[in-house]
Amino acid sequence: MSSGAVFLNTALLMLKEAAEYLNLDPGLHEILKRPKRTVIVSVPIKTDKGETKVFTGIRVQHSNARGPYKGGVRYYPSVDVEEVTALAMLMTWKCAVVDLPYGGAKGGVACDPKSLSKSELERVTRRYTSMIYDVIGPYIDIPGPDVYTDAQTMAWMVDTYSMLRGVFTPEVATGKPISLYGSLGRLDATSRGVVITAREFFKSVGKPLKDAKVAIQGFGNVGYNAAKILHDEYGAKIIAVSDSKGGIYNSEGLNPHKVIEHKNKTGSVVGFPGSKPLAADEVLTVKCDLLIPAALENAINKQVAERIDAAVIAEGANGPTTPDGDKVLQERKIAVVPDILSNAGGVTVSYLEWVQNLKRETWTIEEVHSKLEAKMVRGFKDVNERAKKYEVPMRQGAMILAVEKVAEAINYQGIWP
């Protein structure tokens, strides 16, 4: 079974559990199990050498019951329909949890971006955008960046869409460069959301984030920015970090600014002066107050969960915990702030960017941070209340809240024709 199929099974199991708690109508459950639309397209390009290469592009639109579809586009070799469907479903729940007027979508191209030149990546992006042009739009489906895509990718998407439409349409995508009406605060939005929800959890149990020991798996955009915010703004102690090549540990704390400098010079956090080496997955089992898995999905399986030594986990990645792993964490009473809440900062600031674009306004960083803070704090409060009401962990509380909101919207709309 592919990792995408495993991930989709996990997403469907989470939905099933929430449906049971809510005594959801079986017909509604069936609607929510399936994406509303799945688009698979051929993405041929001419390489720099003049050869023809053909990639597979996917866009899955899960639900638009609460608003236009919203979700990122990833470039990765293992991208498949199952993985993208699971991610689209998670986006539906994520938007509902923090009360954004969106439904969930996700897209991707099955390619190895590291083996493509910048001009080849541009061709892939423009071809993919042209192929899904009919099913995206400012009030239909708004893509954003994800794994191995960035502001440049979104700029190409916006330009391609605008050229085909004949009107400059920056609101068709989010996560754009600032000069193309991107939003301030977008780069570290996911990380800031993770930190805010972790802070709210610590508050709820009467503990400060100051001097808390933090371990972070993944030192890309989410992991690094979470480390920076925790270190600079809250005085937390970052004791362990990792990337795909390995990990490092220092019980006295690591300076994330110096670690990222080292990574930018050498290509990895490994070998950072004054640190002890760790295997990449060892970071997950370091004794700490806060663990942030910020790499890819399924990192915390049953075996890893049995060895985790953290007081709380705030999920920076999408789907980093398998069902077996989650069961072990529950048995061991290790609290988890789930991905559909903790990493919703990214889509929240994407929403704020979209609103600015629609109004043709530009907000200050203070305005963006203030609105993000309000959404994340409210989301945490609502999830915590559901978890207490149903006497379940926060993951189930978040799913119950999200499924309840989406199901209610579908109920009111009815099925037509």
Q: What is the pLDDT of residues 116-165, one digit of tens each?
A: 999 999 999 999 999 999 999 999 999 999 989 999 999 999 999 999 99
Question: Residue 140 maps to which CATH number?
Answer: 3.40.50.10860
Could you tell me if 149 and 230 lie in one domain? no
Q: Is residue 21 part of a domain?
A: no
When the pLDDT of each residue in the chain is averaged and rounded to a whole number, the result is 96
Q: Does residue 172 contact residue 142 with C-beta atoms inside 8 Å?
A: yes
Rounded CA-CA distance 293/130 in Å is 35
Whether 109 and 244 map to the same domain: the answer is: no
Based on the domain organization, do 131 and 214 belong to the same domain? Answer: no
Query: Which entry of 94, 106, 237, 405 is annotated as an active-site residue?
Result: 106
Q: Please report whether residue 182 resides in a domain.
A: no
Q: Is residue 308 part of a domain?
A: yes
Out of 131-135, 262-266, 320-324, pick the least confident: 320-324
**Do 137 and 194 have their domain in common?**
no
Inside any domain, residue 368: no
Give the pLDDT score at 206: 96
Specify whether 58 is located in the same domain as 163.
yes
Q: Which pLDDT score, from 0 to 100, does residue 297 have? A: 79
Q: What is the share, in percent, of the chain residues with pLDDT greater than 70?
A: 100
CATH code where residue 295 lies: 3.40.50.720
Residue 322 domain-assigned (yes or no)? yes
pLDDT given for residue 319 in this prediction: 85
Mark whether 54 and 195 lie in a shared domain: no
Active site residue 405: no
Which residues have CB under 8 Å from 119's CB, separation 6+? 48
In a domain? residue 350: no
> Do 162 and 129 have their domain in common?
yes
pLDDT of residue 97: 98
Tell me the pLDDT tens digit for each residue of 88-109.
999 999 999 999 999 999 999 9
Q: How many domains does the chain have?
A: 2
Same domain, 212 and 302: yes
Residues 215 and 125 in one domain: no
Tens-place pLDDT, residues 356-413:
999 999 999 999 999 999 999 999 999 999 999 999 999 999 999 999 999 999 999 9
pLDDT digits (tens, 9 = 90+) for 41-66: 999 999 999 999 999 999 999 999 99
Dihedral pair phi/psi, residue 353, rounded to 5°? -65, -45
309-333 average pLDDT score: 94
Say whether both 40 and 79 belong to one domain: yes
Give yes or no: residues 137 and 248 share one domain: no
In this prediction, residue 1 carries a pLDDT of 79
Residue at a domain's end among 279, 312, 342 = 342
Its domain, for residue 207, covers: 189-342
pLDDT at 144: 97
Assess if residue 390 is contained within a domain.
no
pLDDT for 296 equals 77
Is residue 115 domain-shared with residue 193, that is, in the same domain? no
Final residue of a domain: which of 342, 369, 403? 342
Is residue 361 a part of any domain in this protein? Answer: no
